[in-house]
Structure 1
Amino acid sequence: MSHDAAALESFVKRYLDTVAGGSAAAVAALYTDDATLEDPVGSGEVHIGRQAIEGFYKNLAGAGADLTTELLQFRPGGHEAAFLFAINVGSAMRIEPIEVMTFDADGQITSMKAYWSPADVKQL
């Protein structure tokens, strides 16, 4: 199974738009029931399943700041995509992670890994 580049980019943009404007439940709904999320990679914690993933996004939304996202670079491949994006947390900070996602036949996220470190965070 693979998706064309346009489909993968639309899945990524849907994710970024939902992170910026949706609830934790709406973001978690983009994932399969048994999906995995590791953010950041190397942290020692992998969130498994939609409920755990929703809890992860509740922490992000719990910051209370307005979130905006911007896709900076995109690389498709088969049923996966790697992309660099920016997430602005109000006017306080900007984070530029690279994420790698895999998608099922329906375009739902089956896994997500985010690569970033404190060096990728800028105070605004």
Structure 2
Amino acid sequence: MAADRDQVLETIQSYVDLVGKGTADDILALYAEGATVEDPVGTEVRTTRESIREFYAAIEPLEQESRLVSARVAGNEAAFQFELITRVGEQTYTLAPIDVMTFDDAAKITTMRAFWSNADMDISG
């Protein structure tokens, strides 16, 4: 049985919220065993829970806020855009990546690919 659309949307919203204010362990809990992360697309794919946790631990101490912009769900797959605002001293970095994810039947993330590059980042301050 495929994950329910509402469950997938709930996982996406939790993911966006946790990237802004959560811990690496909170985010990792959204992932299924054996999941992969490619962020951004074109970089090395993280294939272990330890490497995925390490990836999110790097952003954990940052002052950030996030919000979901839009999401489209098709079966056990989804594409969504969210905005991530990071403040470092007097500088503000704004990025709106498009993430593409697949989900297992329990709406846990099985793959995550983030589409963005440095050219997409707005820096102010």
Q: Does TM-score exceed 0.5, indicating one fold? A: yes
Residue in 1 that maps onto 2:70 = 73
Given that residues 29 and 50 in structure 1 are in contact (C-alpha distance below 8 angstroms), is that contact kept between their aligned partners in structure 2? no
Given that residues 74 and 84 in structure 1 are in contact (C-alpha distance below 8 angstroms), is that contact kept between their aligned partners in structure 2? yes
Letter in 1 for 2:6: A
- d(CA) in 2 for partners of 1:5 and 1:120? 29
RMSD over aligned CA atoms reads 1.4
Residue in 1 that maps onto 2:45 = 46
Deviation at 1:82, TM superposition (A): 0.2
Q: Once the two structures are superposed, what CA deviation does each residue of 1:78-113 show, in whole Å capped at 9, x if it has no partner? A: 001100111011261011100001111111111100
Q: Is structure 2 residue 33 aligned with structure 1 residue 33?
A: yes
Letter in 1 for 2:97: P
Q: Is structure 2 residue 17 aligned with structure 1 residue 17?
A: yes
Q: Which runs of 5+ in 2 are unaligned?
A: none
- d(CA) in 2 for partners of 1:19 and 1:29? 12
Identity of aligned residues (%): 38
Deviation at 1:2, TM superposition (A): 2.8
Deviation at 1:3, TM superposition (A): 3.2
TM-score (norm 1): 0.90
Q: Which runs of 5+ in 1 are unaligned?
A: none
Given that residues 32 and 49 in structure 1 are in contact (C-alpha distance below 8 angstroms), is that contact kept between their aligned partners in structure 2? no
3-state SS of the aligned residue for 1:60? coil
Q: Once the two structures are superposed, what CA deviation does each residue of 1:50-92 show, in whole Å capped at 9, x if it has no partner? A: 211000011122xx33111111111110001100111011261
- Tell me the matched-pair count: 121
TM-score (norm 2): 0.89
The 10-residue stretch of structure 1 (110-119 or 4-13) with the greater mean CA deviation from structure 2: 4-13
Q: Once the two structures are superposed, what CA deviation does each residue of 1:1-20 show, in whole Å capped at 9, x if it has no partner? A: 43343222111001111112
